[in-house]
Amino acid sequence: MSASSRRESHGSGDRLTLHRRPHLLVAHGEPIICEGLVGILGRAGNDVDVAGDLDEALAILDKREVDALVVSHRLPPDGCLALLDACEDPPPTVVLDGHADDISRVVARPSVRSVLTRPFRLQVFYDAVAEVTRPGRTGDTPPKGGGNGR
């Protein structure tokens, strides 16, 4: 776990606060998309693991705790619902849906906080990931929105 520190001033004194980098799992069947997402998320200050299919994603989740999932709606072989079903308590999830299929079953999942349909603005993606990884978040589910930022 990597952490950074910064000194915060609170009136009468300073205190050192440790901030842990969010750890994300990107699960997507297209390697070029994974590569791009890892670059974007890494530059934004996240630790990122990548899985190309359901089995790889489950293997990573068995080994490490993640703060959030960024997962393709069509994650091979059976889609993101198979991954969410296989997790006892899935972390907050951002679903990427490149085809705007009927996603009502996905949106109904408590762990799914955002579904982004392509094309979406990069800022919309950053905001969705920031929402699920912000320190001190509660279990409250924020509005899911349609997600293309237009």
Distance separating alpha carbons of residues 89 and 66, to the nearest angstrom:
11
Domain range enclosing 83 = 20-133
List of residues 6+ apart from 7 with CB closer than 8 A = 14, 15, 16, 17
Q: Is residue 76 part of a domain?
A: yes
Tokens of 84: 């969410």
Tokens of 22: 């969010």
**How deeply is 4 buried, as exposed, middle or buried, from its count of CB atoms within 10 A (0-12, 13-18, 19+)?**
exposed
Tokens of 144: 């899911």
What is the count of structural domains for the chain? 1
Q: Is residue 97 part of a domain?
A: yes
Q: Is residue 140 part of a domain?
A: no
Question: Phi, psi (5° rounding) for residue 141?
Answer: -90, 115
Distance separating alpha carbons of residues 36 and 101, to the nearest angstrom:
23
Q: Is residue 148 part of a domain?
A: no
pLDDT tens string 36-91? 999 999 999 999 999 999 999 999 999 999 999 999 999 999 999 999 999 999 99
**Residue count (the chain):** 150
pLDDT tier, 6 (very low <50, low <70, confident <90, very high otherwise): very low
- Domain at 73, CATH number: 3.40.50.2300
Q: Is residue 89 part of a domain?
A: yes
Question: Phi, psi (5° rounding) for residue 68?
Answer: -160, 155
Q: Is residue 12 part of a domain?
A: no
pLDDT tier, 11 (very low <50, low <70, confident <90, very high otherwise): low
Q: Is residue 10 part of a domain?
A: no
Q: Is residue 150 part of a domain?
A: no
